[in-house]
């Protein structure tokens, strides 16, 4: 259903809402809303034959970009395509997943049962229904996926490649085999490498980080939003170290850490507000609830990141030990330390123990897909291990890879016009 259309400089933007099954296997058992934003260059808005490009956002659990200007990768995309910015189910203006909305479902078991339908398989089935309505059942569209969006598109290639004309992936070729512990071992090693680079750039931050940890271990520090800043929650600021601007985001936050207050040296309000704003687990809880299950096929995650952490003593927060930030890992203690995750603790445990996750990838079908694929793989990617991406690429016939250390994981945000243009040129055989 088309809800509204408005204009930005150089862009025409139309809002769509689709009513889709919660469980595609039982289409009459419940419905939800999926929102998508159609974006087209104003001088091409009237072209009825303009091909479609659907964008899958990274995450899981994050809404599609909100266009404010004809810039970045969108500027390049609207030269050739009518773009659909998809708010994946549970995100943005689609039927939301938050502690508030999940409370309406009643028990943790009911919440967990509902959340099982928010992985890539359901997202792709949503996309297929939307394609048939917007584009036509007999017509294909193109896909662009960033990070987890690439995971979704790889599932799309495995499950319904007939709907895809071509696929562009940036930093998002997933491990196809079920190897969640190996994923976290590789990710911890990458995070340690980023820590070494960070503290080489900002050596004074090593002592400052230790001082912050010691302060948090001695004091009950409350955040402006009401939660508690613990030492292990502070450690999670390393989530940002894999972005091209991540080192600076962390450093400039740390340098505001302390002020002189009534009782002496204490953590500043601006630092506490910055820590709270830097981590979005409470506003986007799908990430905490389903981050590990996105890797699972026919087995349970069982808090893989927590289990594997014991193999890396560098992350221990014992007093006097050198400090290291962690990365994008999710831990069971987060459902204690984050106030607005606490109501979801039991549901999170049920999901962690669930061992019947459907398969997401079929290597044989990937090998048979006739869709053209161009993918950017980032050599130093902290979030999606390059070796796993290369292994997956070997399963996809004719894929065109661009492996580079010029960019970090956020390349599509940092220099999207160039990155997408390069992938389009690869697709066309011009590079």
**Where would I find the H helices in 161-225?**
180-201, 204-218
Q: How many CB atoms lie within 10 A of CB 177?
A: 15
Of 106, 115, 180, which Cα lies nearest the Cα of 349? 115
Q: For residue 102, what are its two tokens? A: 């999940």
Name the residue with tokens 């869709």. Answer: 371
Under 8 Å between Cβ of 95 and 324: no
Q: For residue 411, what are its two tokens? A: 């390349």
Active site residue 324: no
Active site residue 381: yes
Under 8 Å between Cβ of 34 and 126: yes
Name the catalytic one among 147, 161, 304, 389.
Answer: 147
Under 8 Å between Cβ of 39 and 65: no
Phi, psi dihedrals of residue 105, rounded to the nearest 5°: -85, -10
Under 8 Å between Cβ of 64 and 32: no
Active site residue 409: yes
Query: How many residues in total does the chain contain?
Result: 431
Under 8 Å between Cβ of 84 and 38: yes
d(CA 297, CA 293): 8
Name the catalytic one among 87, 121, 205, 381.
Answer: 381
Residues forming beta bridges with residue 166, ordered by sequence position:
142, 372
Of 325, 350, 323, 321, which Cα lies nearest the Cα of 335? 350
For the chain, percent helix, then strand, then coil, each to nearest 5?
45, 20, 40
Contacts of 166 (CB under 8 A, 6+ apart): 142, 143, 371, 372, 373, 374, 427
Which of the residues are catalytic? 147, 381, 409
């Amino acid at each position: 259903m088309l809800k509204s259309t408005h204009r930005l400089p150089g862009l025409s933007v139309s809002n769509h809402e689709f009513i889709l099954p919660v469980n595609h296997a039982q289409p009459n058992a419940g419905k939800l809303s999926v929102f998508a934003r159609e974006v087209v260059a104003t001088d091409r808005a009237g072209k009825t034959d303009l091909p479609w490009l659907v964008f899958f956002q990274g995450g899981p659990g994050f809404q599609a970009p909100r266009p404010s200007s004809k810039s970045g990768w969108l500027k390049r995309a609207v030269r050739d395509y009518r773009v659909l910015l998809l708010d994946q189910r549970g995100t943005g203006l689609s039927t939301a997943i938050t502690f508030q909305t999940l409370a309406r479902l009643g028990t943790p078991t009911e919440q967990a049962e509902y959340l099982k339908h928010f992985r890539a398989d359901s997202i792709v089935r949503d996309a297929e229904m939307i394609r048939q309505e917007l584009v036509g059942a007999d017509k294909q569209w193109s896909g662009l996926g960033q990070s987890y969006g690439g995971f979704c598109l790889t599932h799309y290639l495995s499950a319904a490649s007939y709907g895809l004309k071509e696929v562009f992936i940036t930093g998002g070729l997933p491990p196809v085999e079920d190897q969640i512990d190996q994923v976290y071992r590789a990710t911890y090693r990458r995070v340690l490498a980023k820590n070494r680079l960070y503290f080489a750039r900002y050596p004074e931050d090593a002592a400052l980080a230790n001082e912050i940890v010691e302060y948090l271990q001695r004091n009950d520090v409350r955040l402006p939003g009401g939660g508690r800043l613990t030492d292990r929650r502070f450690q999670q600021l390393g989530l940002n170290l894999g972005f091209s601007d991540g080192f600076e985001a962390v450093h400039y936050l740390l340098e505001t850490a302390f002020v002189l207050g009534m009782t002496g040296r204490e953590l500043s309000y601006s630092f506490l507000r910055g820590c709270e704003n830097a981590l979005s687990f409470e506003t986007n809880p799908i990430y905490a609830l389903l981050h590990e299950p996105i890797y699972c096929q026919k087995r349970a995650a069982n808090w893989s990141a927590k289990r594997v952490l014991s193999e890396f003593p560098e992350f221990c927060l014992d007093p006097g030990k050198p400090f290291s930030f962690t990365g994008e890992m999710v831990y069971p203690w987060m459902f204690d330390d984050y106030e607005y995750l606490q109501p979801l603790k039991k549901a999170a445990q049920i999901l962690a123990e669930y061992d019947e996750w459907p398969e997401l990838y079929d290597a044989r079908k990937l090998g048979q897909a006739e869709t053209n694929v161009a993918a950017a793989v980032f050599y130093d990617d902290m979030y999606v291990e390059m070796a796993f991406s290369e292994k997956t690429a070997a399963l996809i016939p004719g894929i065109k890879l661009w492996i580079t250390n010029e960019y970090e994981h956020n390349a599509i945000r940092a220099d999207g016009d160039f990155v997408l243009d390069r992938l389009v040129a690869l697709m066309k055989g011009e590079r």
